[in-house]
Amino acid sequence: MSLYELILSRRSIRQFKPEPVSRSILEKLINAARLAPSGANLQPLEFVVVDEEEVRKRLFPCLRWAAYIAPEGNPQPGHEPVAYVVVLVNLKLRKKGYERDVGAAVENMILAAWEERVGSCWIANADIEKIRDMLNVPEDYKVDSVLALGYPAEEPITEELKESVKYWKDSKGRLHVPKRRLDDIVHFNSF
């Protein structure tokens, strides 16, 4: 599959199979993240990989899932993520403007994961202070977001945006994700 085809097929996953993701794949994701573009090459990002069951179980309730379709969009029992990457910003290296670094690094991880058929869901709505305490994150680091990972137990469908950006589940429980049409967003040489 080409990179473009990989990008087109990727969707956020919120239901996972209870199969572990190997440490070698998790390290591959972090390596992809560390090689992402970084403003002024400051490289302020660091990562906490959570793959032990006990820590995963404590982290899970700190996360807010699928606001449009909660709680049915939340991972169901037995379908929780099997690993997480907690994205940290070292504030000694960069206090502002790190958001682009985070976006580039997380997208690299998402695509590297999908190449391995590992699904992901990028979560910014979380109990950051609880996560900080649980993982012993120093005060001079910002807990930015969490990438949930696991082999997909669902296949979301992309469809053309009609009336609302809100994703939804059909009567069979399949997630539908509206996306704007290319013709509606591209402007060549002038608006």
pLDDT of residue 77: 95
Contacts of 50 (CB under 8 A, 6+ apart): 56, 59, 83, 84, 85, 86, 135
pLDDT of residue 163: 85
Superfamily of domain 3-154: NADH Oxidase (3.40.109.10)
Contact between 167 and 68 under an 8 Å Cβ cutoff? The reply is yes
For 5, other C-beta atoms within 10 Å of its C-beta total: 9
CA angle 3-158-120, nearest 5°?
60
Q: What is the pTM of this model?
A: 0.94
**Segment 121-156, tens digit of pLDDT:** 999 999 999 999 999 999 999 999 999 999 999 999
Query: Domain segments of the chain: what residues?
Result: 3-154, 156-191
Percentage of the chain exceeding pLDDT 70: 100
pLDDT of residue 70: 81
Q: 156-191, which class in CATH?
A: mainly beta
Cα 1–chain centre separation = 21
Amino acid, res. 122? W
pLDDT band, very low/low/confident/very high, at 26 (cuts 50, 70, 90): very high
